[in-house]
Amino acid sequence: MIYGNRDVGINHIRTRNNHTCYGMGIGIMVLDDAYPGFPGDVRNASAFPYPVQYEIAEGVDNHTLVWEPDKTPCREPILRAAARLERMGCRAIAAECGYFAYFQRDVARHVAVPVFMSSLLQVPFIQQVIGPEKVVGIVCAQKRFLTDAHLENVGIDLNSRFIVAGAQDQYGCPEFDNLWDHEKRPEVPEIYYDRAETDMIRICTDFCNAHPRIAALMLECTGMQPFARAVQRATDLPVFSWGTLLDYAFSVAVHRDYYGHV
């Protein structure tokens, strides 16, 4: 994309929907929470091959979005963040945490651009491509916080073919605790790549061995995406993540042209 030729199809431009910026890609709302992410993590902009624009959902941190049973206080800040991204000119809106699934319908109703609030949106699609006897293995951060409402709001049939595993609360993942567990993380959140990768490989292989009908893995959490390739090498399964969703989202919002020969 860098130093690509000018699109000669763009000859005349005019203001679109009162947008202030142009050439935008995906607008990503992030938690109002200070912790780092490796390249591949949704909150690390360096690995995306297309433009992204961040907006903080002010007052919505990991605790209020994930841990608190009452999600009501999160709704208005999330809608405001979505509106700001749309107003700036983003062609699609996404979020950084799979638990934003709770607000998929609210945000899609609130803005006029495509909305991809959770990697879990891919689950119904995955179920259609793996065959009727197979199941989707969903690996989330903490299973205890992934409610029926989260799943239903992204179109997942609760009686359909999926199994959920909690990386932190079922299998143990101390490195992720150091980022996202507000009861365990240090004052300055930190993480080691090699340790987290080892944990993710262990978690996913144990999960698949316990459930032989799993034919694809869905990594719910934004921080799991940097390890998707390693997980795939270890399990030899299709792996879906935030990365696969955002790549798809951008291709839908800004369809590429085709150059070649016949």
Predicted confidence pLDDT, tens digits, the chain (262 residues): 555 667 777 878 888 877 778 878 899 999 999 999 999 999 999 999 999 999 999 999 999 999 999 999 999 999 999 999 999 999 999 999 999 999 999 999 999 999 999 999 999 999 999 989 999 999 999 999 999 999 999 999 999 999 999 999 999 999 999 999 888 999 999 999 999 999 999 999 999 999 999 999 999 999 999 999 999 999 999 999 999 999 999 999 988 888 888 8
Distance CA 59, CA 125 (A): 33
- Architecture per CATH, domain 26-118+246-253, reads as 3-Layer(aba) Sandwich (3.40)
Q: For the chain, what's the residue count?
A: 262
> Angle formed by the axes of helices 228-235 and 193-210, to 10°?
40
Helix (H) or strand (E) holding 196: helix 193-210
- DSSP assignment letter at 240: E
pTM score, whole prediction: 0.91
7: phi then psi, degrees, rounded to nearest 5: -75, 105
Could you check whether 26-118+246-253 and 120-241 share the same CATH topology? yes
Q: Which residues pair with 26 in a beta bridge?
A: 52, 92
Q: Tell me the domain boundaries of the chain.
A: 26-118+246-253, 120-241
CATH code of domain 120-241: 3.40.50.1860
pLDDT reported for residue 83: 96
Distance CA 233, CA 240 (A): 13
